[in-house]
């Protein structure tokens, strides 16, 4: 017998007013606002504008170094997700700047697609790390779809994340893997990561003293390499490269990280197909 509520979505947010309203609207329209569960990390934080539409919980903030903070956050969400399986069939969990998208070539809603009969315990979309091409694209307009304003992304093993749980499980740090289990990359799903969708907003975040004191500088330095890649590399056509990347990520593993995809070599920049423009 099908459970009444088929999909729940969870995230946690701190020091963000840029993505949270879009996250709520995107997943709320797709799955129902009362099936969203958002944890606001810190009693000093202002609740999002749309907090009353969803299940929004404000929790005390505990300061950790970046890596430990990631582990604690995901452990908290994993434990909470187990309780949700009492009334939901599927639980999605992701960072506040990540958006799960079904290829529009599949003429179904994302909710109906996720209700298909999958054999694995989790699913991953192909990770696309979207950034602003600063010589071709202007600042982001939050009132318009992101993908109508951004044409390029890097295909990324780091954002090919198993954010879809089909049964209770334990995510690893950053939702990059499932502890003790393999992962399945779905042929029709994408996970768009928008952390660098606006250059000036990303630069502003990188100067946050609290984040820098928690060990985020190396992370920012590594991430910001994407802006240079966007300006210096020629993009592949997306559909051609998506098939190649899915096959590589499925087959290639490091022996010490067998349940995560290995890093793609060479130029992984793609032009996002036009059919995605209005989706996020």
- Structural domains of the chain ordered from first start: 5-276 (3.90.550)
pLDDT for 67 equals 65
Give the pLDDT band (50/70/90) at residue 208.
low
Residue 244 predicted with pLDDT over 50: yes
Q: Which whole number is the average pLDDT over 154-163? A: 95
Q: How far is CA 38 from the centre of its chain?
A: 14
State the chain's mean pLDDT as an integer. Answer: 90
How far apart are alpha carbons 249 and 260 in whole angstroms? 8
pLDDT for 215 equals 61
Which of 129, 98, 121, 89 lies closest to 13 in space, CA to CA? 98
pLDDT for 4 equals 53
Q: How far is CA 149 from the centre of its chain?
A: 19
SS3 (DSSP) at 188: strand
- Is pLDDT larger for residue 221 or for residue 134? 134
Give the pLDDT band (50/70/90) at residue 61.
confident
Start-to-end CA distance of the chain, whole Å, equals 33
Q: How far is CA 238 from the centre of its chain?
A: 19
- The set of residues, in sequence order, having a beta carbon less than 8 Å from that of 137 and lying 6+ positions away, is 149, 150, 151
pLDDT for 114 equals 96
Q: Are strands 98-102 and 55-59 parallel, antiparallel or unpaired?
A: unpaired
Segment 79-102, tens digit of pLDDT: 999 999 999 999 999 999 999 999
pLDDT for 270 equals 97
């Amino acid at each position: 017998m099908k459970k009444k509520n088929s999909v729940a979505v969870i995230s946690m947010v701190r020091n963000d007013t840029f993505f949270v309203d879009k996250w709520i609207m995107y997943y709320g329209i797709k799955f129902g606002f009362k099936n969203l569960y958002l944890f606001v990390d810190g009693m000093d934080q202002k609740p999002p504008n749309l907090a009353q539409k969803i299940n929004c919980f404000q929790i005390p903030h505990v300061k950790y170094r970046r890596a430990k903070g990631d582990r604690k956050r995901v452990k908290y969400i994993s434990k909470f997700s187990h309780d949700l399986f009492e009334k939901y069939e599927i639980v999605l969990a992701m960072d506040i700047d990540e958006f799960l998208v079904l290829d529009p070539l599949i003429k179904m809603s994302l909710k109906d697609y996720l209700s298909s009969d999958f054999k694995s315990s989790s699913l991953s979309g192909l990770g696309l790390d979207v950034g602003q091409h600063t010589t071709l694209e202007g600042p982001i307009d939050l009132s318009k779809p992101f993908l109508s304003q951004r044409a390029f992304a890097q295909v990324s093993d780091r954002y090919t994340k198993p954010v879809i749980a089909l049964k209770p499980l334990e995510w690893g740090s950053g939702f990059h893997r499932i502890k003790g289990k393999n992962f399945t990359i779905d042929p029709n799903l994408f996970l768009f990561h928008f952390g660098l969708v606006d250059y000036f907003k990303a630069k502003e975040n990188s100067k946050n003293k609290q984040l820098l004191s928690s060990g985020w500088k190396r992370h920012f330095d590594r991430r910001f390499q994407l802006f240079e890649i966007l300006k210096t590399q020629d993009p592949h056509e997306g559909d051609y490269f998506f098939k190649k990347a899915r096959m590589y990520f499925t087959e290639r593993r490091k022996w010490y990280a067998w349940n995560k995809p290995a890093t793609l070599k060479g130029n992984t920049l793609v032009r996002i197909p036009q059919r995605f423009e209005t989706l996020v």
